[in-house]
Structure 1
């Protein structure tokens, strides 16, 4: 859809000219396919010189309030700013939109060049030099993220290990479709949950492929802070190790590109404190189970009438998480 035919083009043009110094308008406005819960738009702010590449992250339709576990777009923008203060690579936020701007809820940030598609990152020659260093980089980034001053945080939900177990167990039970492997995993998680007294930090909540902008030099930006919350920092280290985010490269536990040892070493070297491998394993089991429950949620949506191919294909992946859980929970061999 061209800018001239887009109903948000005129108010976005006006907002950019009003708030971003030196701009004369916008060009090349187009909606991107990424973003399951929020709209993502790419455009350039025109100037007397070179254009400024920008991204608009906007609520669907412009006015949908955050729901469930979502942090909210205004909160996301603030978290990005705070992460940048501790040297986490982020796309700088240029503008948080107000109602008077007429564009809807959202914010504008710099457009960082790179790739988010796992298949390309894991296979293309362009990223061959980056792959061996990504795991350590991820550890270093998470160590910095977990040092964000808690006193500066906007209001966020707090979710301990026990709270996460309870939340996803209740969701699972509403499906009224037993999965013996899921039941086993819930029992194991309750037996191995870290204490609620565990030190909590800011947690990204969805640190994985798709939310990392990667170039030939490595990670360039951490994206999509919608699921950020206050929680156990080991949760972030574990989520990127969940097998579903390895995209077939199961022998490289960290995102399909690296080893846990490199992830942990980067985290500790960058000041993240000592990594507790057993706590990481707990969160990897919970992350795997959580994704399995989310897949079955897609099944329920499909059965309720949403006959999209996406719902059906994601829904059937719950069986993959059952295999992953059995591998994780199998007794370890001695020696």
Structure 2
């Protein structure tokens, strides 16, 4: 619960609700998910509300702006017609429960698996395009000055610094960084960017968008960044076949956005931001391990997300290889061999045994604990599949540095095949059910 117990949260919430003219809060329960901020649901009278809160005050250090600015951005978005939640009040230091704000509960579900199975996906896609266009209608002056304006080149430099800090040893990420340096577009007139516009941060009912959540990454920049981020393979979940938010085609999404915004989507800029944000999230995943090690936030989900970096590296290589020579793309690679064990139980088999046992006590968990239970089983699955010998070139600092220096690239004979084998071996251990893996296996191997 971060730096406050449930009783302390209720005590602090009582002060916040009184300030907002609301009744005494009750029924406080933590919502599932939340890799960065905590979300708590509660009632005031018969109405539902959500507390959005940092897991600790220290967690807010170094961020471009605080929750007071985030709530102001949400209010401005609401004025622009975005389906945004109504912010009721911000937390204050005297409340004693950290940094955050409370907002009115909206109808609908944020669960991507449910949303992507709804009927009327085409209508929902149009709603998403509409709200994104309205977000992009906001200009500097509509929101507090603390909302930053992105400098594209500076953003690349910051990502490169993160890469070096994380070891500088992932050749696929190095390829992405070098490509970004070579292909960075010229700045455009800055529009307000949500920064995290994707499934997981959208509330929906069948055929209807009901809310846009999580505005902590808002900034001014290129609208194509928002368009691309939601279309990344990772945010399409099990609907890899629907490239626009997991809901439909890019053609339909772009047409709806153009009709609402009056802008024309530039395919080259869209591809740039698709690659940029894939690198961004790959490094974000890697950083989760650093946060956990530092003690800043010891949430179990952080270490598991760090091992999902391989998802982004797979997606990144599939994007970048479009620029490789045809003869390199035509080469096929082999899948790693599955080791066969004899004798005493291996570390992986011990992990499987605990994984299986946890499956027998699933019904004992509820709420956020049930979510953490699922994360724990994922962690054990990763341990059970680990095979160091199957990753020949995945962590290779000398190769990564040659790539960054322009001394190596996908035109080098055999490099693409080497990286394909490495990422296949890695992701088959980390996230074997990742939908893009099956696509890559069919594309890169002899499998039919």
TM superposition score normalised by structure 2: 0.66
Relative to 1, partners in 2 of residues 1:231 and 1:152: Cα closer, same or farther, differing over 3 Å? same
Within the alignment, does 1:121 sit opposite 2:115 as a pair? yes
Which is richer in strand? 1
Spell out the pairing of 1:258-277 with structure 2 (5 A cutoff): 258-277=248-267
Which is richer in helix? 2
Determine the C-alpha separation between the residues in 1 that align with 2:250 and 2:303: 32
Spell out the pairing of 1:237-252 with structure 2 (5 A cutoff): 237-252=227-242
Within the alignment, does 1:185 sit opposite 2:184 as a pair? no
Conserved? CA contact 2:111–2:200, under 8 Å: yes
Spell out the pairing of 1:114-153 with structure 2 (5 A cutoff): 114-123=108-117, 127-129=118-120, 131-153=121-143
Relative to 1, partners in 2 of residues 1:298 and 1:41: Cα closer, same or farther, differing over 3 Å? closer
Offset from partner CA, 1:43-76 (integer Å, 9 cap, x none): 1112xxxx22111122324x44633345311111
Conserved? CA contact 1:71–1:228, under 8 Å: no
Spell out the pairing of 1:162-201 with structure 2 (5 A cutoff): 162-196=153-187, 198-201=188-191
Q: State the shift of 1:319 in Å.
A: 2.3
Question: Which consecutive residues of structure 2, in runs of 5 or more, have no partner in the other structure?
Answer: 327-448
Spell out the pairing of 1:45-124 with structure 2 (5 A cutoff): 45-46=44-45, 51-61=46-56, 63-64=57-58, 66-123=60-117
Within the alignment, does 1:26 sit opposite 2:29 as a pair? no
Q: State the shift of 1:326 in Å.
A: 2.2
Aligned equivalent of 2:319: 328
Within the alignment, does 1:295 sit opposite 2:285 as a pair? yes
Relative to 1, partners in 2 of residues 1:205 and 1:187: Cα closer, same or farther, differing over 3 Å? same
Conserved? CA contact 1:38–1:60, under 8 Å: yes
Conserved? CA contact 2:183–2:272, under 8 Å: yes
Secondary structure, counterpart of 1:135 in structure 2: helix
Determine the C-alpha separation between the residues in 1 that align with 2:214 and 2:38: 11
Conserved? CA contact 1:38–1:59, under 8 Å: yes
Offset from partner CA, 1:188-221 (integer Å, 9 cap, x none): 111211113x111111111112111111132111
Determine the C-alpha separation between the residues in 2 that align with 1:14 and 1:66: 22
Relative to 1, partners in 2 of residues 1:286 and 1:55: Cα closer, same or farther, differing over 3 Å? same
Q: State the shift of 1:239 in Å.
A: 0.3
Q: How many pairs are equivalent?
A: 319
Conserved? CA contact 1:136–1:265, under 8 Å: no
Conserved? CA contact 1:58–1:104, under 8 Å: yes
Conserved? CA contact 1:241–1:254, under 8 Å: yes
Within the alignment, does 1:37 sit opposite 2:11 as a pair? no
Alignment partner of 2:219 out of 215, 226, 229: 229
Aligned equivalent of 1:16: 17
Larger Rg: 2
Secondary structure, counterpart of 2:157 in structure 1: helix
Q: State the shift of 1:117 in Å.
A: 1.7
Determine the C-alpha separation between the residues in 1 that align with 2:11 and 2:319: 53
Determine the C-alpha separation between the residues in 2 that align with 1:213 and 1:162: 33
Within the alignment, does 1:202 sit opposite 2:192 as a pair? yes
Q: State the shift of 1:88 in Å.
A: 0.4
Offset from partner CA, 1:100-155 (integer Å, 9 cap, x none): 444443222110121112122223xxx222x2223222221111101114212211
Aligned equivalent of 2:305: 314
CA RMSD of aligned residues (A): 2.6
TM superposition score normalised by structure 1: 0.86
Conserved? CA contact 1:31–1:42, under 8 Å: yes
Determine the C-alpha separation between the residues in 1 that align with 2:62 and 2:264: 32
